[in-house]
Amino acid sequence: MPLFLRISGTEWLEEVASNEPQWRAEDTAQIAPILAEHRVDLLDVSAGGIDHRQKARPGPKYQVPFAAAAKKVVGSRMFTVGGLGDDAIAEEVLQAGDADVIFVGRASQKNPGTVWKMADDLGVDVHWAN
């Protein structure tokens, strides 16, 4: 059975609490190969959401750099999230090699047909599972 693990890319506190201990992108890149060695199949790199002081700047691809940094160290096995509800942006992330898989959360919650629309826009034939 595959093991997926979500890890944080940052706590987004660098601007407001730079002297406090916190999780940073460098920590994610450092732990990623250790997790891969311990048979974690896919790492899902997300970020923040745990401190009211955080200074995240949501927008297209805003969490992708954290996954990309970890992927440079590990080579593969990387999920990413954050502002990827547009099919062209999602495809750009995959083609650039910044991640191997993307999750589309908010766009799918707003429109359950998001995957079908993305597939149509990209010319991908999608079938129901049997």
**CA dist list (Å): 56 to 14, 62, 102, 114:** 10, 9, 20, 25
Write down the pLDDT at residue 49.
Answer: 80
Q: What is the pLDDT of residue 130?
A: 84
Residue in the structure block whose two tokens are 């707003």: 110
97 domain-assigned: yes
What pLDDT does 83 receive?
Answer: 92
- Residue 57 located in a structural domain: yes
Instruction: Please report, for the domain that includes residue 78, its CATH number.
Output: 3.40.50
In the numeric block, the tokens 């949501």 are attached to 58
Domain-embedded: residue 129: no
The pLDDT of residue 126: 87
pTM score, two decimals?
0.86
Enter the tokens of residue 101: 């898989």
pLDDT of residue 65: 94
Residue pair 33/63 in contact (Cβ under 8 Å)? The answer is no
Domain count, the chain: 1
Mean pLDDT, each 10-residue run in order, the chain (130 residues): 93 90 92 94 89 90 94 91 93 96 92 93 89
Domain range for 91 is 4-122
CB 12 within 8 A of CB 48: yes
What's the confidence (pLDDT) of residue 57?
87
- Quick one: which H or E segment has residue 102? strand 101-102
